[in-house]
Amino acid sequence: MDKLALLYEYQQADAELEAFEKNLRNTQTRKQLIKLQNYLKKQQAVLRDMENRALVEQNALSEIDSQYDRMIELLSKKHKNIDEYESVDPQVLDYNVVRDLVHEYEMTYENIVKQKNRALAVQKRAEETDARLKEILSKVSKAQKEFAELKKQHEEELRSDSDTHEKLKKAAELAASKVDPALLERYNRIKQNRPMPVSLLKDGRCMGCNMELPSRDLAKLKKDGAIVECENCGRILYLI
């Protein structure tokens, strides 16, 4: 058997192995596994974002509580100052001082109301975030269980096909061992850009791209069995 025939024989074994491995990679179980895996990765990112948001909201609530306590204390002092003025003779009271004190009291009270409303809004967001977190965690837990079951199923499928896979691998390896190393290297280089690097020549045309082979190359191939590549697609031509 000439070296091109051996190479073509290897290509057939190689193609059969690749087709089998492609089917292994494209089973419904594996597709579902990949889909679930992508979902879990996406949800992990969402969870990290929500956990960070929950932390920010918790810190905001702590800061609001601290400010609220300080304002209540300040309001108490303002109230005490106003009470003290009630016992002072109106004749000696400074109107501007009293007016400013009352204004400060009112402003402090307004700020307390604002802080309370702000705290309620942040608290509501925190509760919504917590509820959303629990919902996502529940879905993630369910998806993780489903992923584990599918993974087990996929591993069983792989085990059941392992004998056939091993048989095809050995057949391809045996066929490759009979091919001239330089020619095999050439085959693998072409394969990086073209599927099925060896193309049959029929009626003077490359069956890989349907281009007609120049008469000089055809004569060369017929006469001395030279290694000829298609000028158009670059495949090694094999004339049966």
Domain residue ranges of the chain, discontinuous segments joined by +: 25-163, 184-238
Q: Which residue has the higher pLDDT, 6 or 79?
A: 6
**What span, in angstroms and rounded, lies between the C-alpha atoms of 150 and 174?**
35
The stretch 105-119 carries a mean pLDDT of: 75
The stretch 54-70 carries a mean pLDDT of: 77
**What span, in angstroms and rounded, lies between the C-alpha atoms of 59 and 68?**
14
* Record: fold of 25-163: Helix Hairpins (1.10.287)
Q: Which residue has the higher pLDDT, 7 or 217?
A: 7
- % pLDDT > 70, the chain: 86
Check: CB of residue 61 under 8 Å from CB of residue 87. Answer: no
Q: Which residue has the higher pLDDT, 65 or 195?
A: 195
Average pLDDT, the chain: 84
The whole-model pTM stands at: 0.58
CA pseudo-torsion sign 133, 136, 142, 144: negative
**Whether the predicted pLDDT of 1 surpasses 60:** no
Q: How confident is the model at residue 97 (pLDDT cuts 50, 70, 90)?
A: low
**What span, in angstroms and rounded, lies between the C-alpha atoms of 171 and 169?**
5
